Structure formats: C-alpha cells, structure tokens
Structure 1
Amino acid sequence: MNLLDPTAQPVAFLRALFDVAVARAQPTKVLPAHLPPPPKGRTLVIGAGKASGAMVQALDTAWPQQAPLSGLVVTRYGYVPPALRQHPGRIELVEAAHPVPDAAGEAAARRMLALVQGLSADDLVICLISGGGSSLLPLPAEGLTLADKQRINRELLMSGATIGEMNCVRKHLSAIKGGRLAAACAPAQVLTLLISDVPGDDPDIIASGPTVPDRTTCADALAIVDRYGIGIPEVIRAGLQSGALETPKPGDPVFDGNRVEMIATPRQMLEAAAESCRQAGLAAHILADDMEGESRDIAQTHAALARSVVRHGTPFAKPCVILSGGETTVSVAKGSTPGKGGRGTEFLLALALAMDGEPGVYALAGDTDGIDGSEDNAGAWVTPDTLARARAAGLTPRAVLDGHDAYTLFAATGDLLVTGPTYTNVNDFRAVLVL
C-alpha cells in the first residue's frame, strides 16, 4: 500500500508530509552552498539554536580540512547529532536548556563573548543561528540574575505574547543578544547563517538577533512587560526608561561588512510539502507561513475552511490539503496551573472540537524541531473519531482544552506524534486533509 495514498492511509499520508517538511530544512542539505572561501586570517564559528548541532556538523564536513576552523556553539540538551556525539569535530558543541535557560547556557554565553575578543579584520566569524537561541544564550544584563531571566522567561511563555514581543524583551535584558555579539566580534567579518523559526523571517527576531542590528527600542520592551504584567527589577526598569539598556541599531559601524543569509525558512518547508501533495495527485493550498495568534483561534479559522470545503466545495474543491505555518500562542491565566501540552496539540484539540466529528477531515500539527512545548512529542493528529475515542477513555475534551492539557488527551487516544530531535527548526507545521 502506498504510504502517500491519502484515502487509504490518511494519518500516514500526513506524517509523510511532516517528514518532507522537516527534510527540506535539514542543514546538511541547505548550509554548504552558503559557505564562503576561507579568509586570510582565522575562521571562528559561534552560534546557538536547536538546529545548531546539525549546522555545525554540516559546516565542519564542508569546510576544507586544511583550513583552520574552531569555535563554540550551544544547542539544546539531546540535540547533538549522533555522529558528532561519537566523533566531535573541530568546533566545540555544548548543550543547555530550552525553553527556560539554565546555568550551562549562561556559562556558554560568557565563554562565547570571551572567545571573540581580539579578532582582526582578516578574521571571519561564522555565526550559526536557529530558533531556541534566545534561551540557549542567557547572558543577563547588568542588574539582572539568571534566576530573574528564568522567571521572566516563564512569565513571557505563558503570557500569550508573540515571539517578536518576547524577543524584544529578551534583547534588552541581555548582554549578548540584539546585535551585541556582533559588536564584540568587530572588526572581524561576520557571516550569519540563519534557519528561521519566526513569522516573517526577521533576522533580528530569530534567537533574538545576537549578530544583527536591532530595530526595537527600550521603550518597546518596557511597553511589552507592562502590557503583559511581567515583573522586572527596579534597576532594569530604570535602565529601560533611561535607554541605558539600548541595543546597537541599523547603521552602527560595528555591522559594516557583515552579511546575513537565510538558509531555510517556513515557506520553503510548506512548499516542499505542497509539492509532495501534488505528486500524489492531491491539490494543496498554503494559507500562510506566518500565522500568529491564539492556537484555538487559528484552529477555528482552519475548521471553518475545512467545513466549507466539505459542505460547499469552496473556497477549495475536495480532496485537498490545507497547509499553514507560523507560531501560535497559548495564553495561560496568571496563577493557574496548566496541564501538559503545547501550541500544536492545543490547536488540534480546538480543531477537533470545532469539526465535531465531520467525516473525511484529518489533521496533523507539529513543531519541526520535534518538541511541542516542553513535552516529548512533536505534535499529534486528529481523525473524525478523535473526540469519541477521547470520551470513551473517560475524558471531557472541552474541559481538557480549558485546562491546556491536550497532551494528556492525545496520549490517551494514542495520537501523539513523537519524532525525537529533528536537528532543524522552521517553526510549526499544520496540515488539514479534506477527503
């Protein structure tokens, strides 16, 4: 039986699309073409992110063996590629915590800043950046402790703030983000290679832009923490109010000659999945690669489209696949204790409730890094009988959604998508199959 036969194996078909999307963003495929020739001086590699381990592996393999190469890169615990774990290369790769930073990440950030001191204009710094780097390089600004950063990070994650808003705050409370790492590298050339996990692919948002100019301001950061009720120490509030914590801006000479190249994006992974659909004889429609908002609200939009396709044949004819990407949010009321789950499973449970068993509609949602939230799953899938199977297991789907406990429901129905580390990260992948 053909794995890509959606009518015979709809769930397997959706899982295959997810695998295609992830494969399109693998560093081994996309990074080597972006490497420059070795410079006159040294080549130093730095960086952070959930894809940075695979980026290190791809770079080390492609870089001429006779050319000097060294550096320090940090990735998430468990995200060192097996080959590098067995045989470390020329670039040191260390692990730290995500999504809440830890002391290992702080130590790596301090070492990285020290490593780039004293470079010359003949030297080249290659910075490997992917999503997750904000948590993996937690170097607090003066007046802030790691414990402060951890608390603020947790509050931001549960506030419903967008990734752009969260990273604006992170940049202004950091001694390394928001272009500060590039400033420390000057006068060396800096080439930043990016794998985007943010809506719009803005380089200064990805991993809080450690090597690119920052367009946001202290005033922006202060407005965000006040909007979401995030507590900050008075010394930090004073620093934001006075502008003492301002980041380097576009036009700053520290960025002269620096280059930024995007090597993988959410749009590219969606287009790869859409092409696979067409090869299987199925129409594919990409809604957007940059959708933001509450997961359950985005689910309502997808459900309305799917119902219209099923019942009226508009705006698309069935059979078809509706694809989307971006980064949704899950807002948790202050003081409440959320259950287990992430934005992907929250989206899917809300979608299942909105579809209410509509025949012929299947969906998969997953984070392309292999982790939805902080559990062990990349996401999950829903089928027309998901709600019935959940109720048969003794669960009340609406109450589960209200408690942000979607992981528990999909674990009970056996519908979790578990991939392990994918070694890349181009944000959320959502696919709704309408037969």
Structure 2
Amino acid sequence: MFDAAVAAALPARVVAPHLPAPAKGRTVVIGAGKASAAMARAVEDAWQGDLEGIVVTRYGHAVPCRRIEIVEAAHPVPDAAAERAAARMLDMVRPLGPDDLVIALISGGGSSLLSLPAPGLTLADKQAINRALLRSGAAIGEMNCVRKHLSAIKGGRLAAAAYPARVLTLVISDVPGNDPATVASGPTIADPTSFAEARAILAKYRITEPESVLRLLDQGADETPKPGDPRLAHATSVMIATPQMALEAAAEIACQAGIAPLILGEAIEGEAREVARVMAGIARQVVLHGQPVPSPCVLISGGETSVTVRGNGSGGRNVEFLLALAVELDGLADVFALAADTDGIDGMEAVAGAIVTPDTLARARTLGIDPRARLDQNDCHPIFAALHDQVVTGPTLTNVNDFRAILILPRNKGP
C-alpha cells in the first residue's frame, strides 16, 4: 500500500500531462523541493523545443538532467548552497519578457531549499529561526507564514520578479488542504498572510530570537505580493499530485487484497502522539465492536502531524506517532500499523518510518528498552532500529506528505 501511495505521485507519471505548448520566446525551468529534480527530468523527457533552467533539491535527491541544472542543498535547515541557488533563480527570471515562459516545479521541502534572506537578515538568522520552528511543534502553515516574511524569494516574490513573463507552476502537494501558497512557501503564488501574522506565530511558540528577525517582522516593510497584485497577472498554478491521490491508490491495493479501506482524511494535523491516541481509539472500536467498519479493514490517513521536542531525541513525526500508537494499543491483538513519509525521510533521519505489530512493546522491553520513557524523550527512532522494524526506502523523489495505515485483522487470525 505504501509503495502504491508513492507511485501515484511520481513525477514521471504526473508531470507530462500538464505541460503547456512551447512559448514564442525562451522557456525557463525553475524549481525547488524534494521532488524538483525528478520533475525536471520529466519535463526534459516530454518537452519539444528549447529549454534551460535551474532547480534545487535536497542532498541525495538529484536526478541527472541534460539541459536543466540540478543543485543540491540542505533540508530542513537551509545552507549556503540554497541561498546561492535562490539568488541565481531570481537573476535568471528578471530579464524575461512577455513572450517567455517560466515553468516552476514546486514540491515539499522547497521552503528550506529556496532560501534567500530578506534584506537585513543573514543566512544564520534564517537557520536559527528554522531550527526553533522545527522544535516548537508549529504546524506547516504557520512555519511557512514566517518563512515567507523573512525571504526575498518566497510568498510570490519569485513570480513577481519574472513579470511580464508567463509563469506556470506545477505543484506536488505535501500540505494539508493542498493550498499552493503553502507548498514550499509559495514562491510563485500570491500570499494572503501578513507580517503581523508571522510575528504572532513566533509569539505563540515563545520564539524570542534572533532579535534581527523580530525587528524585521515588527517593522513590516516590503509586504509579500497579495492576491490581485498586477505582477502576478500572468501566473497560474496546477496541482498535479496530492495526498488524496496517494491514499486512493493505497485503498485500491487493500480492496484487491479483500481488505476494506476506510480513508479517515488526507489532511490530519496535530501533535503526533495525540493523533495516535485518537487512531488507537478507532482501532479498538473496530476490534471490539466492528465499528465503524468490521475487520478485516485498514484505516488510512495522510497529512502532517507535528512533534514538540521536549526531550533529548531527534523527533520524527511518523515514528513518534507509531510508538504512541503502540503504547495506547498496549499489545492489542490483530492490529498492525505502518507510518512513513512519502519522500522517504521522517524528519532528520534517513528513514521513511516504521511498522508496529501487536508485540512491539514486548519485544522492546525484552531488549531492555522502556517505550514510554523513549516517547517522553521524543527518541523513537532507536527503538524501531533495534527491533529491525524501520521502513527504509531512500529518497523516493516525490513528496505527498505522510502515509499512515492501521491494518486490523479478524480476531485470532493474525499472521
């Protein structure tokens, strides 16, 4: 099911049907995100005519291209390579005219990969604020609101720089609600948020430094382009892959296996352990009462949970969800679960996610591991590594956010 979810959003499958006719003038490809290099390759394979450009992707996610330059940079905390790539993109699109076409390839992860500090800020400032936001438990929309207002390229600024050229943005969504203004902080999409909102988000999570960031947000100068801005009159966007597409592909696999799928939602947010508590309650209701659907069934969901890191661990929202789920289920028979990020990386680890079985807690304790203590420390990756229950895919070259499946078999008939 996880493989099917990933395959449904692969650029080789979803990019070509949405490409426009060649422009009279130049065609320039730009892009950012974990899938951007694979998207660039898909454009090259399908494109008839001249082509040039540059895209930036995460280290290890590059795909060889012939005419589009691929740059690798750091994620989730930006580095100098991301800063240089963003500056080069602006320089590339600024001279374009009304007969030219910009194809922007945008996918999740682009916020840190397309990082050009606003005037008055340094890369170190942006790195510090990114780290603070990642540890705060802020939702992805909140993080991207802040990022837009600290950037010289996000929040529609890239499309504004390309005016009067036509800008077509192809988006692979990794955000709840599939708002193109939120994916990669919307570098080519009008931004409805404000400096005041960004400042309020930092206050909400008690982020009080760097001082230069707070000062810039308080000043509120040079607001991002808003809906109706004439510089974005020639900019359009198309959502070419979404979490819902991935969930439906997984559901089809379940149906083929004689398992009833129940899609709970494509945009589930909240603290990973709290989402796990709710999911465990639903699973227990199925086991004990056959509701809301009798077993054998699978509860499928997507979205992006968050982890407020209070302990010494490295976080990882999928493994935290899974360990919290295991703790809540407490060995309930016939319930199995997988949670993994469709990009192949759960947080800062080179692991997509993991699998939970009814004996996960018992096996962990046999190894001398206290699951509840590890959960309290946000230190879940080592448990699944020790149990050999990690899901390791390597970079999948797409990103439609997290995939969660809870498989419930008929009682006393587990494998």
TM over 0.5: yes
> What residue in structure 2 maps to residue 253 of structure 1?
230
Q: Deviations over 1:38-74 (max 9, x none)?
A: 010000000100000110110000001xx11000100
Among candidates 165, 174, 190, match of residue 142 of structure 2: 165
Other structure's SS at 1:37 match: coil
Q: CA RMSD in A?
A: 1.0
* Separation of aligned partners in 2, 1:238 and 1:345: 37
Which residue matches 2:60? Answer: 78
Correspondence for 1:185 among 153, 156, 162: 162
Please name the residue that 1:31 is paired with.
Answer: 15
* Aligned residues between the structures: 409
**Does the Cα contact within 8 Å between 2:94 and 2:162 map onto a contact in 1?**
yes
Secondary structure, aligned partner of 1:281: coil
SS of the counterpart of 1:40?
A: coil
Q: Find the counterpart in structure 2 of residue 12 from structure 1.
A: none
Deviations 1:286-319 (A, max 9, x none): 0000000000000011100000000111111111
5+ residue gaps, structure 1, are 1-16
1:384 counterpart residue number: 358
Unaligned runs of 5+ in 2: 410-415
* Alignment deviations for residues 15-42 of structure 1 (CA, whole Å, 9 cap, x no partner): xx10000000000001100000101000
Q: Residue 69 of structure 1 corresponds to which residue in structure 2?
A: 51
Structure 1 segments of 4 or more deviating over 6 A?
none
Question: 2:246 aligns to what SS in structure 1?
Answer: helix
> 1:100-125: CA deviations, max 9, x gaps?
10001001111111111110000000
User: Matched residues in 2 for 1:348 and 1:70: separation?
Assistant: 44
Of 243, 250, 253, the residue aligned with 1:266 is 243
The amino acid that maps onto 1:68 is: D
CA contact (8 A) 2:309 2:315 kept: no
- Give the C-alpha shift of residue 89 in structure 1: 1.2
Q: Is 1:313 matched up with 2:290?
A: yes
8 A Cα contact 2:164 2:234, kept in partner: no
Query: Using a 3 Å threshold, how does the CA distance of structure 1 residues 310 and 226 change in structure 2: closer, same or farther?
Result: same
Q: 1:214 aligns with which of 178, 188, 191?
A: 191
1:30-429 equivalences in 2 (<5 Å)? 30-64=14-48, 67-81=49-63, 84=64, 88-333=65-310, 336=311, 338-429=312-403
In structure 2, distance between residues paired with 1:116 and 1:53: 19
Q: Shift of residue 241 of structure 1?
A: 2.9
Which residue identity is paired with 2:23? P
| Partner-residue secondary structure (3-state), 1:221 | helix
Q: Report the CA distance shift for 1:245/1:331 in structure 2 as closer, same or farther (over 3 A).
A: farther
Q: Partner amino acid for 1:33?
A: P
Q: Which residue of 2 aligns with 1:18?
A: 2
Does the 8 A contact of 1:344 with 1:380 survive in 2?
yes
Counterpart Cα distance in 2 of 1:318 and 1:375 = 34
SS at match of 2:398: coil
Q: TM-score when scaled to structure 2?
A: 0.97
1:258 CA displacement: 1.5
Letter in 2 for 1:73: V
8 A contact 2:35–2:108 mirrored in 1: yes
User: How many angstroms apart in 1 are the aligned matches of 2:202 and 2:173?
Assistant: 25
Q: CA deviation at 1:242?
A: 3.6
- Residue identity matched to 1:353: V
Are 1:341 and 1:408, in contact at CA under 8 Å, matched by a contact in 2? no
Shift of 1:237: 3.2
Please give the per-residue CA displacement for 1:230-278, whole angstroms capped at 9, x wherever unaligned. Answer: 2345454343234204100000001112110000000110011011111
Q: How far is 1:281 from its partner?
A: 1.3
SS at match of 1:94: strand
Question: Take 2:280 and 2:12, find their aligned partners in 1: how far apart are those partners?
Answer: 36
Equivalence for 2:412? none
Q: Distance in 2 between matches of 1:19 and 1:313?
A: 28
TM-score, normalising length from structure 1?
A: 0.93
Contact between 2:125 and 2:212, CA under 8 Å: does it hold in 1?
no
